Amino acid sequence: MGIPVGRYLRVRRLCSTTDEFKVEAKKLYWRFKERGYSHNSLKKAYNRALGTDRNTLLTPKKSTFPAANHKTKNIRVIGDYSKEHSEIIQILKRHWHISCQDTELEKVLAFSFHRQLTQSPYTNPIGETWLTNKFKRCHKCGDCVSCPFILKTTTFVKKIDNTQHTIEQFINCKTQGVVNMMKCKCGIEYVGNTIREFQRRVMELVGDVRHKRNTSVANHINTMHAGNIEMMRFFGIQKVLNSTRVGDLNRKLLQKEAKWIYTMASKAPYGLKGFTFTPFL
């Protein structure tokens, strides 16, 4: 629940009035619902932000880190945005060893473990076998209510040019951190993601249809197919591994989701989800 709380508090800080906050919070609520967050968790985050005094949010927090030694002046390379950013980075990396040989620069350049660590001579003798390749697909767990809606598949095809894509990981109903696709039998697609177990997101989308909620998937099924949930089939496209940094998984999921929406040409109006570059900014 940490991500919704942080975002609601940020909106609370930026909005000068309570009424303005409520309007923006409503927009934020639907964006989180699209990502798979539950109503109860979002309600708790909203109430916490609403009950927080805005003045406390505007006051800078005292740093818990020890004061920096001002005698040491570190060198930072800071510049304006440029299309040549990648080339500049490559030049710095290519000639970094020359900078490290300078007796003055060596005192302020960041230490790199690359200077001390060497590649291990050990290599894993066990390669991929027919057994490991067999499980790289989307499976049903066989033990949950979402299984009837899961499509067992190894590949999926881009409908415009019939380009075939292969699922490179093992994914089933209980897998967390999944970029997934809902494929309607009429051919329209919805690409989404979830931090939670895949089955929970599937049943949430099915529940949206049954309760006629105002979401893109529910509106399509209810309008075009008279609410027939049998028109929907779900499968995982890619599993995104978590990292130790807070918020990293959510950002990676949004980036992978945007990538697959673009790759599969399933952005609205040809699909049920919009495309945005926001996760990459």
Q: What is the pLDDT of residue 83?
A: 74
Confidence at residue 268, expressed as pLDDT on a 0 to 100 scale: 84
* 17 located within any domain: yes
Question: Domain range spanning residue 34?
Answer: 2-58
Domain annotation covers residue 268: yes
Whole-number Cα distances in Å, 54 to 3, 5, 49, 57: 19, 14, 9, 5
In a domain, 79, yes or no: no
34 in Cβ contact with 21 (< 8 Å) = no
Considering 58, 81, 102, which residue would you say is the last residue of a domain?
58
Report the pLDDT value the prediction gives residue 197, as an integer from 0 to 100.
93
Count of the separate structural domains present in the chain:
2
Contact between 188 and 174 (Cβ < 8 Å): no
pLDDT tens string 93-117: 887 777 777 777 666 665 554 545 5
Residue 177 lies inside a defined structural domain of this protein: yes
- For residue 252, tell me if it sits in a domain: yes
Specify the pLDDT at position 190: 95
Please report the pLDDT score of residue 233 as a whole number. Answer: 96
Same domain as 276, residue 153: yes
How confident is the model at residue 117, as a pLDDT?
Answer: 52
Q: Which residues of the chain have pLDDT under 70?
A: 1, 62-77, 79, 81, 105-134, 244-247
Please tell me the predicted confidence (pLDDT) of residue 97. Answer: 72
Closest Cα partner for 254 from 225, 229, 279? 279
Same structural domain, 49 and 154 = no
pLDDT at 73: 53
Query: Does 45 share its domain with 165?
Result: no
The answer to whether position 86 is within a domain reads no
Nearest by Cα to 175 from 193, 153, 152, 198: 198
Considering the domain boundaries, does residue 255 fall inside one? yes
pLDDT computed for residue 147 by the predictor? 94
Tell me what pLDDT residue 159 has: 86
**Same structural domain, 156 and 267:** yes
Residue 153, pLDDT score: 93
CA distances from 188 to 102, 221, 222, 224 (A): 60, 10, 14, 11
Within-domain flag for 47 = yes
What is the C-alpha separation between 59 and 41, in angstroms, rounded?
Answer: 26
* Residue 64: per-residue pLDDT: 58
pTM, rounded to two decimals: 0.52
